[in-house]
Each structure stands twice: as structure tokens, then as C-alpha cells.
Amino acid sequence: MFPNERPRRLRQSANLRRLVQETRLSADALIYPVFVRPGTNRQDPIHSMPGIYQWSVDRLVEHLTEVYQAGVRAFLLFGIPQHKDSVGSEAYDPNGIVQVALRQLRESLPDAILIADLCLCEYTDHGHCGILEGERVANDPTLDLLARAAVEQARAGATIVAPSDMMDGRVQAIRSALDAAGYSEVPIMSYAAKYASGFYGPFREAAENTPAFGDRRAYQMDPANRREAMREVLLDLEEGADMLIVKPAMPYLDILSDVRGRVSVPVAAYQVSGEFAMIEAAARNGWLERERVIMESLTSIARAGADMIITYWAPEAAGWLQG
């Protein structure tokens, strides 16, 4: 009888659809990015990211304790330092803001996965991801500072370090420094394919890291390039990356799918601040169904190949997945 093939047969009921579902989200795969700032009892709103805050360490510990209990076990830490200078000193100061937060969190949540974002841009007064020679970000001198920061993060209790600076050779420099300091067990989750994206806009308010001049196109990738992502990924693997990140996520699903098809290490996708802000803004206007679209966005990222998703909606999504 015509037609022979009827795909709709498997869509007849909610239970049948659930049975044949190809992509299943789990709270286990979610990573929640957070911003930590100096002071006590601070929960400062970020205007372009409704529901996201800069937390002082005391309040961050309380917040993440709740989020952990709600089922999110992995956190990505960004710091807003007390002092910025030309060489980003607080990034590798043992008493820098992220190191202080790591020590407290490690004590309060011993089993949590604490991922330390590793970059200088939040810590430099010029806002670039490396140190400057004139107006140029100097690659090799920056590597030493990143390596020092990685060691301090590991010492303070980071489970994983995640370099996001896009300097050439940084994975190898960080690996050697970690090994030499006795942290050969600390994995490197490298932002291997990180694009120079306008979707980072709201993050610049959140992390206070807007470049004082110019932009990041001389170190982050050109959004037009697809093959080059594979070059970056393979280099990072050769240098010793244990896990990779593709960033941003939704506008770069082709990249994510390519990477997933080519490597065997775990791959994360970073659903960045602009992706978050777009959906939040549309939902506030009543133009999109908020929960439905958030879950669809996460599903599309997982379907394209992400084993892990870094998302500001991690706590809420975990609640929906378990509820």
C-alpha cells in the first residue's frame, strides 16, 4: 500500500517519540560559567545577561552549593580582579580572585568539577588576552604568564584548566609547566576553535574585559573559516589537549560537527553570552517560548556533536531535565 515508508508511524505518541529519540540531554553534560568578584555579600547583576551575576566568593559558594545539589556538577570560573595592570598579574597571583574562589569552593564542594578559565584579558588594563609589544599582542612572552597562571589555578584546586587566549603553542607551554609543578593529572580543556565573535558582546560587561583599543581578530579565528578550525584542533591535540571547546556554539554547529567527526577526545561547545542574551530578550518580548527554545538550542548543540555544553542556563536546564 502506498506509501510504504511512513516516518510518522514512529511519531504517534509521546512515549514512542521518547523511545526513538536520537539525542538525549543530561544534566551530567552541563557546565555552568560563573563570574567571581572581590568583596563580600555581593551579587551584582549583569544588565545584558538577566539572571546572571558577578558574585563575591562567599555568595558564590552558597550559590554553587545550591546549583550542585540541583544536579550541575561542573563550573567554569571567570574572575574580575581587584587590580588590573599591563601584565595581568592577578591571573597568576596565588591570592588572585579566581585562586581564592577555587580554594573556598574546593573546600565546600570537594567533588565538584572546577574548571578555571585561563586567559589574561580580565586581568590586563588594556583588555587584551596577552601582553603587548606596542599595539601587538606578543605571543611567546604571553605563554610564560599563562603557564604560571595554570600552575596557580591547579595549586588552588582547579580540576581542569581551560585556556581561552588563542596564543599559538599555549597548550604545550601549559602542559609542561603543570607537569613540572607536579600536576600531571590536571587535564587541559582547550578552547581550540574560538572565533572572533560579536556574540561575546554581553560577556564584555560581565567580565569587564573589553579591549581598550582594537579587537581580538589578530588572535581569535575568522568567522569565515571552517578548515582552519581543524588545523587549530589538531595542533592543540598534538600539544596535549585532553578535551576541546568550540565557541560560540549555535552559529558554529558546522564546526562542531566537523570536530566531532575528526577527533576522539571529549568535545564541548560554549553557548556564549550573546546566544543567551538573544533568547532572553526575545522571550521577554513574548516573541519566543523561553523554555522550549532554550531546550531546543541545547538539543541542537548536542545533536551537532557536543559531549558537553557550557551554558548560562545550566542550573535551570538541569531542573527541567530532572523535573
* Chain residues that interact with ligand PBG, rule: CB under 6 A: 117, 119, 121, 129, 164, 200, 203, 216, 272-273
- Tell me the three cell numbers of residue 312: 548560562
Least CB distance from residue 270 to ligand PBG, whole Å?
6
Least CB distance from residue 234 to ligand PBG, whole Å?
22
Q: Which of 187, 247, 248, 297 is catalytic?
A: 247
Q: Which of 59, 84, 194, 216 is catalytic?
A: 194
Least CB distance from residue 200 to ligand PBG, whole Å?
4
Q: Determine the number of helices (DSSP H) and then strands (DSSP E) in the chain.
A: 11, 12
Q: Which is nearer to ligand PBG, 22 or 197 (CB)?
A: 197
Beta strands in the chain (DSSP E): 30-37, 43-45, 53-56, 74-79, 113-118, 132-133, 136-137, 160-163, 189-194, 243-247, 267-270, 308-310
- Tell me the three cell numbers of residue 35: 563570574
Q: Which is nearer to ligand PBG, 119 or 230 (CB)?
A: 119
Q: Which is nearer to ligand PBG, 52 or 186 (CB)?
A: 52
Least CB distance from residue 163 to ligand PBG, whole Å?
9
- Closest residue to ligand PBG in the complex (CB): 203
Least CB distance from residue 15 to ligand PBG, whole Å?
37
CA distances for 40 relative to 55, 96, 116, angstroms: 9, 15, 21
- Tell me the three cell numbers of residue 194: 574560538
Element (H, E) at 127: none
Q: Which is nearer to ligand PBG, 58 or 278 (CB)?
A: 278
* Residue 49 · residue 60 · CB < 8 Å: no
Least CB distance from residue 63 to ligand PBG, whole Å?
18
DSSP 177: H
**Cα–Cα distance for residue pair 246/309, rounded to 1 Å:** 10
Least CB distance from residue 117 to ligand PBG, whole Å?
6
Whether the CA torsion 65, 70, 72, 77 is positive or negative: it is: negative
With 0-12 / 13-18 / 19 or more C-beta atoms within 10 angstroms meaning exposed / middle / buried, residue 61 is: middle
**Cα–Cα distance for residue pair 286/55, rounded to 1 Å:** 29
**Cα–Cα distance for residue pair 147/118, rounded to 1 Å:** 9
**Cα–Cα distance for residue pair 207/91, rounded to 1 Å:** 13
Q: Which is nearer to ligand PBG, 183 or 200 (CB)?
A: 200
Active site residue 84: no
With 0-12 / 13-18 / 19 or more C-beta atoms within 10 angstroms meaning exposed / middle / buried, residue 58 is: middle
Catalytic (active-site) positions: 194, 247
